[in-house]
Chain A
Amino acid sequence: MPDLTYGIFVAGGVYIAMLVVIGFLSRRARRESTLADFYLAGRTLGPFVLLLTLFATQYSGNSLSGFPGQTYREGIAYYMSVTFMVGIVTGYLLFAPRLYRAARAGGLVTPSDYLAVRFRSPVLNYLSATIFTVALLNYLLAQLMAMGHATAGLTEGRIPYWLGVIGGAAIILLYELLGGMRAVAWTDALQGAVLVGGLLLAVGLLILEIGSPAAVLRQVAAVAPQKIQSPSLPLCLLWLSNFLLLFLGAPLYPQAIQRIYAARSLHDLRKAMATMALLPHVAITTVVFIGVAGIALFPVADGFNADQITFKVLAYLVDHQPLAYVPVIVIMIAVVAAIMSTADSCLLSLSSILTKDFIGRARGLDGADELWLARIAPLSSISIMLLVTAVAVRPLSSLWGLLVIKFEILIQLSPAFVFGTLHDPDDPGGYRSRDVLAGLIVGLTIALALYGTGQRQLYGVHAGVVGVAANYATCWLSHRLRGARAVPEPVA
């Protein structure tokens, strides 16, 4: 196989230089020193940047290396990943229209800002901010660790894991401090473009080398027929459970909600969202195809982990296709781009939650003190990045185990947004904070108890989905009972 390291160093250097240049350009575009300008790009994102930043944020490094790995393990039943990625966009329909309107009317910056305006409960504010923080810390930590592994793998150890983590973290921090959300969104646009380009190149090369999807499936049927079998009942239940988990949980990621807040207009937001609903058919089908091609090329995982199948397939292409050298390097840079674009969005959201939801609310600051909060926002980003980088360099397995449950707890905030956006804050018939808190406590307790006792799935249904079902039921019941008690006696 030709040595890719030189090409990766050159392409990686150009890519990093472009990120830094974008950081400086976005700094020049800053308009004012406010939280909305730093964390939401002054609510000026147009449809194209919005689409690419939504895309790059939602498709992490896991989508490019984890999904093909899962397909390689489970077979084409992992087409379910296309379904649940569409489900994320469908999930927005439950609350995003009202959330966007509330964000415009109330100048909201963080997801907890909405809950503060809607429910006026300090307990719910702090609890939701804590849940968002735990979910995001996990995500950021996972991305930094993936960056360390990716750089070490791509450079064949010339850049060690720890240097990949620290270097990647430093670059992200640099452009984020320079331009805030504007820099993150603009670099996401570059990263999204590299990602789409890389995926399309991968599919084109694979079809050239090993044939059409139908031809590849014929090979799979010959070498591993169990990988195209009809899914079993537990697998179908897992399919729906995965869908529900992503449908209810993923739209609640703070970085996704903040992109709704950051849209320039509803017209732009709708265009970006509608396009996002169609993208999984291109992007995720492509990564599933890479996994299926991996089964055809390497029916037995001999001496490698299934999650490395993307790189195994790329190495095969370089060996067999003289034209593949440059495209494969683009694809490899796309993997790093996917990781960085998710990490930078997580960092920015974490910073906003620390600054606004914890520091701002603890000090009782109101709108007049926003200038002070905007000044400490970069310090929040630096503190968070230092902390997470330190953990990523020497990950503690016990901490990692705790944080893996991000979705199981994040999804428990779903009723607060879905039921919350059914009514205006002053509507006497609307849901109250006690309804939402009761559901949240029941849902969290069930999800964590199931998880803690090793029952991550019940008959294929995730612990978090069981918890959120109880959460919704409790919330609804509490609301109904209160409504029944509040009915006045009929006057004779």
Chain B
Amino acid sequence: MPDEPRRHPLFMLLLLVCAVGTAPFLFIGSEPAIVFGLPIWLWSSIGFTLALSLLTAWGILRYWHDDPGPPDGGASEDAPGGAV
């Protein structure tokens, strides 16, 4: 059965949370406290951006696949094979 990432609501919700989280709304007007050399709001944006990209890559490998191949069990060229 073909699958695609947008068929998975929880996955899409997580993407949305990460995307909105990248913009540092929570730190508006605060003093730029420095942690390990970077402002804390930048750490927050980096964390959400990293989560967004890892989730996107994971979703592509996990949820995007076509028909698994012929019924004899052999995998077609497009089969996910060892999909993560």
Contact = CB atoms under 8 A, between A and B. Distances in A.
Interface of A: 76, 79-80, 82-83, 86-87, 89-90, 93-94, 96-98, 101, 212-215, 217-218, 221, 228-233, 236-237, 239-240, 243, 247, 265-267, 270, 273-275, 277-278, 280-281
17 contacts: A76-B42, A79-B46, A83-B45, A83-B49, A86-B52, A89-B56, A93-B60, A97-B64, A215-B37, A236-B23, A243-B19, A266-B78, A267-B77, A270-B60, A274-B57, A274-B58, A277-B56
A83 to B, nearest CB: 4
B41 to A, nearest CB: 5
A266 B50 contact: no
Given A79-B42, A79-B45, A274-B60, A243 B22 contact: yes
A126 B34 CA distance: 54
B12 to A, nearest CB: 8
Interface in B41-75: 41-42, 45-46, 48-50, 52-54, 56-61, 64-66
Given A76-B39, A217-B37, 6 more contacts: A89-B53, A97-B3, A228-B42, A230-B32, A236-B24, A277-B54
A76 B43 CA distance: 12
Given A217-B37, A230-B27, A243-B19, A266 B53 contact: no
Nearest to B22: A83
Nearest to B31: A230
Nearest 3 CB-CB pairings of A with B: A214-B37, A97-B4, A274-B57
B80 to A, nearest CB: 7
A97 B61 contact: no
Nearest to A267: B78
Contact of B5 (A82, A93, A213, A239): A93
Contact of B28 (A87, A94, A236): A236
Given A236-B28, A267-B77, A277 B57 contact: yes
Contacts of A214: 36-38
Contacts of B49: 79, 82-83, 86, 280-281
Contacts of A83: 19, 22-23, 45, 48-49, 52
Interface residues of B, number: 47
B53 A230 contact: no
B19 A267 contact: no
B38 A93 contact: no
Contact of A265 (B32, B38, B39, B77): B77
A243 B6 CA distance: 18
A239 B56 contact: no
Contacts of A267: 77-81
Interface string B1-17: 01111100000000100
Contacts of B48: 83
A218 B39 CA distance: 10
A278 B53 contact: yes
Given A97-B2, A243-B19, A230 B64 contact: no
A90 B52 contact: yes
A277 B53 CA distance: 5
Contacts of B54: 277-278
A230 B22 contact: no
Contact of A236 (B4, B25, B59): B25
Looking at A98, A221, A266, A273, the one whose CB has the most chain B CB atoms below 10 A away is A266
Contacts of A212: 37
Contacts of B34: 217, 221
A214 B23 CA distance: 21
Contacts of B36: 214
A171 to B, nearest CB: 34
A180 B75 CA distance: 32
B41 A230 contact: yes
A87 B21 CA distance: 13
A90 B80 CA distance: 20
A214 B24 CA distance: 20
